């Protein structure tokens, strides 16, 4: 089997022109180089710049940071600039408890929301995977469709529902379940609801694809051998769906840690989440070096889950190949 389309230099039936032959020879390399370069320039290099600026001093200017590493001053200038690099911004992050608390509470909120999303998503994915085959494409489409509508709109929709005089309270008071309106908006509970709601499709889809592949005759066999349904679930279904659980949880957890829109619109002013802190540091305080330092630490925090996610995706490709 030829792995590279290009490497397979096979006899060509018609005689192509020099130009087209050169193009054919370049083809394989271009396919790799174009997206590679794009991602290097617009994905990797920006991180290097964030790191660089996180080490620079704040200045009241535009851009609001002291330049680092410009090669215009020659080698001596470069050394001079190296000496000016400082970890002041990082020290600042450790001095103010606000940042530490924001990191901790982001991770906690994201973790709790991820567990809640799993609890809501698993039965849905299970029900879909066990639905009659003719129903499945429609159900899949129905789960994906909300994902196509704007994130901002879906979060916004919850404001009207969760408000003290909102629809949920009107409903609960209408059926006489509560007398006083529940205060949900501007609390962490609203953030949990927002994250579960917005990220539910990300959880359901990998779970569904894991559960759908499962061979249900295994459950039948377990039942025939006298295994009660619940322990059949824990011994067979759950382990077999584990790759889906890992992928789904990472797809929810990682972006949720840095979430901005949900805590900003549904959480109160005292809600601490690092995405919101970074946003305020950047847009309100205009402190670019400190917001860069916040971003670097956030990235370090997420490097392990991101690598696990990337590995699991790469492994999925290898298996399917």
Restricting to residues 130-159, which ones interact with other proteins according to CB under 8 A? 130-133, 139, 141-143, 145-146, 148-154, 156-159
Distance CA 178, CA 169 (A): 8
- At closest approach, how far in Å is the CB of 238 from other proteins? 16
Verify binding: residue 302, other proteins, rule CB under 8 A: yes
Residue 216 DSSP one-character state: T
Site for other proteins in 73-112 (CB under 8 A): none
Q: Which two tokens stand for residue 44?
A: 């990797």
Q: Which residues of 164-198 are buried (b: 16+ CB within 10 A; e: fewer)?
A: eebebbeeeeeeeeeeeebebbbbbebbbbbbbbb
Record the tokens describing residue 26, joined without a space.
């370049």
Q: Determine the number of helices (DSSP H) and then strands (DSSP E) in the chain.
A: 16, 0
Q: Round to whole Å and give the CA distance between 40 and 144.
A: 31
Q: Give the nearest distance from C-beta 226 to other proteins in angstroms.
A: 18
The residues in 244-283 that bind other proteins, with binding defined as CB under 8 A, are: 250-251, 254-255, 257-261, 265, 275, 278-279, 282-283
Binders of other proteins: how many residues, by CB under 8 A? Answer: 111
- For residues 157 to 196, the per-residue mask of contacts with other proteins, x marking binding by CB under 8 A and - elsewhere, is xxxxx-x-xxx--x--------------------------
- Classify residue 307 as exposed, middle or buried by CB count within 10 Å of its CB (0-12, 13-18, 19+): exposed
Query: Among residues 80 and 220, whose Cβ is nearest to other proteins?
Result: 220
Site membership for other proteins, residue 208 (CB under 8 A): no
- Within 25-84, the residues that bind other proteins by CB under 8 A are 27-28, 31-32, 34-36, 38-47, 49-50, 53, 63
Q: Is 231 in the site for other proteins (CB under 8 A)?
A: no
């Amino acid at each position: 089997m030829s792995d590279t389309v290009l490497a397979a230099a096979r006899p060509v039936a018609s005689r192509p022109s020099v130009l087209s032959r050169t193009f054919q020879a370049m083809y394989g390399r271009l396919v790799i180089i174009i997206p590679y370069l794009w991602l290097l320039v617009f994905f990797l290099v920006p991180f290097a710049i964030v790191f660089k600026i996180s080490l620079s001093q704040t200045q009241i200017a535009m851009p609001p940071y002291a330049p680092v590493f410009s090669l215009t001053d020659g080698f001596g200038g470069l050394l001079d600039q190296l000496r000016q690099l400082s970890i002041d911004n990082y020290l600042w992050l450790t001095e103010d408890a606000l940042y530490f608390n924001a990191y901790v509470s982001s991770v906690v909120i994201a973790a709790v929301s991820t567990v809640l999303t799993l609890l809501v998503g698993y039965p849905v994915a299970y029900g879909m995977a066990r639905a009659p085959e003719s129903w499945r494409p429609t159900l899949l489409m129905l789960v994906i469709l909300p994902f196509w509508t704007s994130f901002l709109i879906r979060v916004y929709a919850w404001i009207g529902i969760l408000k003290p005089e909102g629809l949920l309270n009107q409903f609960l008071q209408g059926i006489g379940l509560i007398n006083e309106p529940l205060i949900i908006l501007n609390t962490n509970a609203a953030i949990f609801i927002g994250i579960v709601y917005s990220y539910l499709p990300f959880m359901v889809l990998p779970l569904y694809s894991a559960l759908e592949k499962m061979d249900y005759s295994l459950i039948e066999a377990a039942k025939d051998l006298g295994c009660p349904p619940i322990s059949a679930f824990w011994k067979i279904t759950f382990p077999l769906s584990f790759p889906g659980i890992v992928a789904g949880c990472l797809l929810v957890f990682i972006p949720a840690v840095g979430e901005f829109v949900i805590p900003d619109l549904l959480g109160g002013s005292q809600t601490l989440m690092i995405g919101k802190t970074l946003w305020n540091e950047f847009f309100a305080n205009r402190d670019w070096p400190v917001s860069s330092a916040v971003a670097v630490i956030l990235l370090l925090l997420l490097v392990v889950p991101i690598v696990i996610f990337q590995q699991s995706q790469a492994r999925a490709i290898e298996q399917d190949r």
